[in-house]
Structure 1
Amino acid sequence: MTIGAICYGVLITLGLSCLATLRRLPRARIFWSQRMVLMVHVCSLLVLNTALSVKGMKGNLVSIFETRPEALTYFYLDRFNIMAVIIFALTDGVLVWRCYMVQRVLLGGRPTRWQHICWIIPSALWLMSIGLGVTAVAISDPTLLLSEPPAPLSKLLLILFTFCNIALNTFATANIVIRLLIHRREMISSFGRTSTLSNFHVRIAGIVLESAAINVPISIASAVCSILVGGFGLLAWQIGVPTQSFSSVLVIYQVAKGRAVGSESMSSNKGSESQRLDTIITTQTDTYD
């Protein structure tokens, strides 16, 4: 509970900073809808995580101080957990979007048919996880005593949901990292390490942040804890949910700051001409000062 509260606090701090950065983006019409979508996304994550954290802390305190040990139930598997499913849908959706955008920008918008697999597979896993999560929440029984094993179907759905989440995060992270590393090598080979373009793309830390690599170990740790420990082991997701939200907001923050592929601002050496590549949501637009 304490670790989850710390993760939530870090998420709120980063989320407010991200909203402030998005608010300072250009107010031109072409940026308005893009900025608003990202701001709504971040606000939704903050509100949902706040509600889920309050609910989780209240449930934990009641179970510790007001419930006899033999009367403990799976109180944390109630219908309120639909918010956790929505949070995972939002965070995983950002990864699917980044898979698509990285492919589109780096391949010039003309990928071959087989290369579409790089965002189709995450999209399929994303839809499957939403369906499994909603179903698991719908059939879970929060009144079942903790001393009894959970319903087999409910446990199976939770395991499948966890598997989809891990598979999506692993595939998306590997796909984004590999593509960015290949692009990094090509930029260095073409322009050298000292050029403006190369300096933008050689930051390994930026590649790791953009790929949301932190999601992978968090998902695996939460899943292992839930499966091996069981019962209260499922509370590990009280840490996993805000951490994955933090990773998602961090990706958006990278985009807002122009540090992610598809959202960078680069100045050319030809007079005062400036080229801005803004593909925050769906389009790649070149504007000139």
Structure 2
Amino acid sequence: MSLFITSLNSGSNGNCYYIGNEQDAVLIDAGISCRETEKRMKRLGLSMQKVRAIFVSHEHSDHIRGIPVLSKKFNLPVYITGETMRSGGLSLPSERVISFDPYAPIVVGELKITAFPKFHDAIEPHSFIVQNHEVNIGIFTDIGAPCDHLIQHFKMCHAAFLEANYDEAMLENGRYPYFLKNRIRGGKGHLSNRQALELFQAHRPAHMSLLLLSHLSKDNNDPQLAQSMFNEHANGVKVMVASRYEESPVFKVHTTGCQNIHEIPLLF
């Protein structure tokens, strides 16, 4: 068994992650427009007709702004907690809204999606694991600090989207006001390159083959810097930065490795 994954966009300007098998797929967050989501998926050979649901990590606009149009156009259920729905001000028909609880797996076709709590300055923030039989994909962004929940699930992953939001020196010396710097690094904001790398080094499972560094700050990070930090410690894991401007390649992840299948028509 295998899963196809891609980042359609990753950053404070919008976040959207695709995970699916040959029949079914889900989106984790939908923070870019419906039109842009469709356009990027088409370039990758993916089809919205395979997407069965949207799962929402938290209410910040860069994770939800595309949901109303996307859900309406494709009649997609939106899995979201009640407090996240209210805090985000989303207006969706009740028949398309499904609440979820942490650690309660949700089955979509042959996919199993499990949410768990994380540290972030949102009302009810969650990370997700998407499973297809033996293959596990983690979506771990917008995390203020690594916690036991994150460590436990990171150890399961064959591939993961892992936040590496900021370089600590760039943030400290940058133009952001002091209160915003403290919000970012204060334990309920975002993971730094160093924190993400320490998690990767200490808890990377032997079966992990792919890591997509995600949600990099435009002002407080540098993709080449983050990439080089992880390359030094990759030890056979393919590491790449998920762009804030375009989609990543599609990767086919299975229990023994991953394959970049970008530019191969998938006709999903």
TM-score grouping bracket, smaller chain normalisation: under 0.3
Give the structure-2-normalised TM-score: 0.26
The answer to which structure has the higher helix fraction is: 1
- Between structure 1 and structure 2, the one with the greater Rg is 1
